[in-house]
Structure 1
């Protein structure tokens, strides 16, 4: 005689499946650089939509995501935990998960369809071949060399060095080597290639090659998520992420310093790059190189193709803003903060237009502004005889200030942009009749489902809470 399932058993089964879906979504977002506040808000939205409306506890730390639900005071609490093992950035997966959550909240998916779709996202690998990612990394390095003022030879060497670093790090990553050592190796390879160029009669500035590859190595560090966690009250996760970012940066510094010391040991001096501005005639090259750098990096982290052009435009405009602010005489951290604030203000709206999370737009657009120049200048001052140690330390402190300014500026822009757009959409719903001026679009005659899809695509999951 078969056992007839008790209704409570069926309920507990669905509760377990619901909590498991929330945890898988949170794990995917956290491992790809999303802030703990965003992960928590997304998981809570999904849980409430699936019927878990009360007594939900969600805990997000650097290495795990946990969720508990007290469905009955007389029964044990359901507690489930998922560990976060990998931290490889894949913005295509982040976008797919974001769309899954929005479709689920809109009622277009039930629990079982959502779980099947989530399993497909996790199991299907990237559609872009890995060699194309290496080429995009090389283009990122070449574009940095371009907007720093390098000629065709510097651009070519920077491209080759970036591709070589990417392939070496890929091989080492398969051996489960910690990220710190990967950064050390990347810094060593970049500086040794520059030393090799300086030892030849080639007329190329090797310091630009080092600077370009420092920026590439910095691009993979999660400054945004670390500062967002610290500002939003997730101090434990924020501290862990800041520690990880500092360790990765120290690895770059150690690697580049070791390469420079080796060059000094064999009598090859690659010099140091003075970052002074050369005039307005180069601003076109700056904008072009920054736009190409942002788009190439976005491609290398699997950002959807439809977002590449907007990311390039935002990266180029931000670099121009940075240049204009520096020309007014303000310090570089303030210039970086102003450019990052502009990125944060426009990224929210642009991300809605191209149907990606704002994180996918923000991080690549900031890459051209990363302080690789200040790091290299500080290292070269600290390793050269007769150079001022205080100047080297000041340059390193400037690099840290610029990185902090970039992250805080972007997050402030997001804080300002989200409520402004939310109120604008509410006002649009109250207005009727023709509007001759303004940012609001007239109501379409499309079906109710199409209008609902557009509204979903314009905002992030957090906005729907």
Structure 2
């Protein structure tokens, strides 16, 4: 065999291999050993992917944009050599890294889809971020921990969520009355409304139409109840039932009081695109409620039934019942968002404390707007301080604590007055004033909660340092045994 140059031998072998395997034939593609890119990511890229996943989960479950960015930057500062830029614009999460003049920049974009809020998952993710920031966990272990958190996420059953929403309806009723029949009916209406919302959401109905259908259904139920009361006035138990309060107990689950507070929170933190999108969502959802109530009132009119669908004529009950209602509302809100038992109890306590602060200042001559802001500041401060001690996310107790303060019903009242009256009339102007009042209350609550959170963080760090310096109970017992 004649001697051939090395390059000719290699060329001949390549041609022979090409004859055996036709790369254009689909059946032969499986024979090629393709490189699995995902299994060979650089540590830098893995860190960015980890950051993206944690930020996506937190923001989609309602955590404020500033807190999400703060947690995400803590991760990248730990694992990445080059600085990272993170941007959130409501439905889009962007992570970008400039790797110098010799390498292409890296940019990751993910569309954010709203998830059901789960405070237990939020707590686990925030604890993981804190471990990364304090350099207590490697990148590989952090990835395993994230996978474990997402795969073993704990949540309550749908029926428990329905019950918690029924509890919110009952808690709102207790603010206005101590009548057992009304409280029970409010609970049932809240339960039914939550069930309707969940069923419509699961079949993919847009949120605007969900609001319309649910609000119309609640109004029609209240109309039927009113008609029943008018026909059976002789029954003693019927005479205690207020259809207006029954309707409000269902509508309160639809109002976007917390959403407008969250939107203004993002505006205060200078995430203006996110804040604008959330405010528009508040307008659309509240507009859906107004349209649904209007349709329900039209059906009620055809039934020769008239009743008020706004709580303007309702008066608050005794202060004791108000505190009970505030505690039930806050605790049930935490339960509906899958908080642990400790978080549920603390949310009820913080809710009562915040409501107590607002009542104290209002009774001493302060207007509701600044009183709500001061109460929200107290809620934000106390929630931030106790969050690390009791191992619950501060967002859980802050959100639940300000629930009795949020102006959801005020916002709904204003829109109803604007829709039902012509421009230029006194009631129309009153409705515009009510809307402005709701907006101002929401601003002060958002500002108060944010400021309380800011001043609470250094206090929390000092308390943790003091706690770490104190001798543990086990050390004290050992010391006593040695002395004896």
Q: Say yes or no: TM over 0.5.
A: yes
Aligned-pair CA distance for 1:54: 2.8
Alignment equivalent of 2:204, drawn from 128, 152, 176: 176
Q: Residue 311 of structure 2 aligns to a residue in which SS?
A: coil
Aligned-pair CA distance for 1:441: 4.7
Query: When the two structures are superposed, what TM-score results if normalisation uses the length of structure 2?
Result: 0.80
Kindly provide the CA deviation profile for residues 141-192 of structure 1, in whole angstroms up to 9, marking residues without a partner as x.
1111112225111111111111111111111111222222222223222222
Aligned twin of 2:330: 294
Aligned twin of 1:47: 76
Aligned twin of 2:375: 339
Q: Matched residues in 2 for 1:334 and 1:61: separation?
A: 30
Aligned-pair CA distance for 1:378: 4.2
Kindly provide the CA deviation profile for residues 385-415 of structure 1, in whole angstroms up to 9, marking residues without a partner as x.
9983333333333333323332222112222
Aligned-pair CA distance for 1:225: 3.1
Alignment equivalent of 1:397, drawn from 436, 440, 449: 436
Q: Residue 81 of structure 1 aligns to a residue in which SS?
A: strand
Query: When the two structures are superposed, what TM-score results if normalisation uses the length of structure 1?
Result: 0.83
Aligned-pair CA distance for 1:301: 0.6
Q: Tell whether the 8 Å contact from 1:221 to 1:245 is kept in structure 2 after alignment.
A: no
Alignment equivalent of 2:66, drawn from 37, 40, 46: 37
Q: Tell whether the 8 Å contact from 1:214 to 1:372 is kept in structure 2 after alignment.
A: no
Aligned-pair CA distance for 1:376: 5.3
2:176 is the counterpart of 1:153: no
Q: Matched residues in 2 for 1:166 and 1:375: separation?
A: 21
Q: Matched residues in 1 for 2:175 and 2:468: separation?
A: 41
Aligned twin of 2:470: 444
Q: Matched residues in 1 for 2:315 and 2:348: separation?
A: 23
Aligned twin of 2:306: 269
Q: Matched residues in 2 for 1:246 and 1:143: separation?
A: 25
Equivalences for 1:18-417 in 2 at 5 Å?
18-50=47-79, 52-201=80-229, 202-203=238-239, 204-218=241-255, 221-271=258-308, 272-274=310-312, 282-375=318-411, 377-378=413-414, 383=420, 388-417=427-456
Kindly provide the CA deviation profile for residues 284-304 of structure 1, in whole angstroms up to 9, marking residues without a partner as x.
111111101100110001112
Q: Residue 469 of structure 2 aligns to a residue in which SS?
A: coil
Q: CA RMSD in A?
A: 2.8
Q: Matched residues in 1 for 2:265 and 2:421: separation?
A: 37
Q: Matched residues in 2 for 1:293 and 1:61: separation?
A: 31
Q: Tell whether the 8 Å contact from 1:290 to 1:315 is kept in structure 2 after alignment.
A: yes
Q: Matched residues in 2 for 1:225 and 1:278: separation?
A: 27
Q: Matched residues in 2 for 1:393 and 1:301: separation?
A: 33
Aligned-pair CA distance for 1:375: 4.3
Greater C-alpha radius of gyration? 2
Aligned-pair CA distance for 1:32: 1.0
Unmatched tracts of structure 1, length 5 or more: 430-439, 448-465
Q: Matched residues in 2 for 1:197 and 1:421: separation?
A: 51
Kindly provide the CA deviation profile for residues 393-438 of structure 1, in whole angstroms up to 9, marking residues without a partner as x.
333333333233322221122223224444x45xx96xxxxxxxxx
Q: Matched residues in 1 for 2:261 and 2:404: separation?
A: 15
Unmatched tracts of structure 2, length 5 or more: 1-32, 230-237, 474-484
How many residues get paired? 425
Q: Residue 218 of structure 1 aligns to a residue in which SS?
A: coil
Q: Matched residues in 2 for 1:266 and 1:401: separation?
A: 38
Aligned twin of 2:7: none
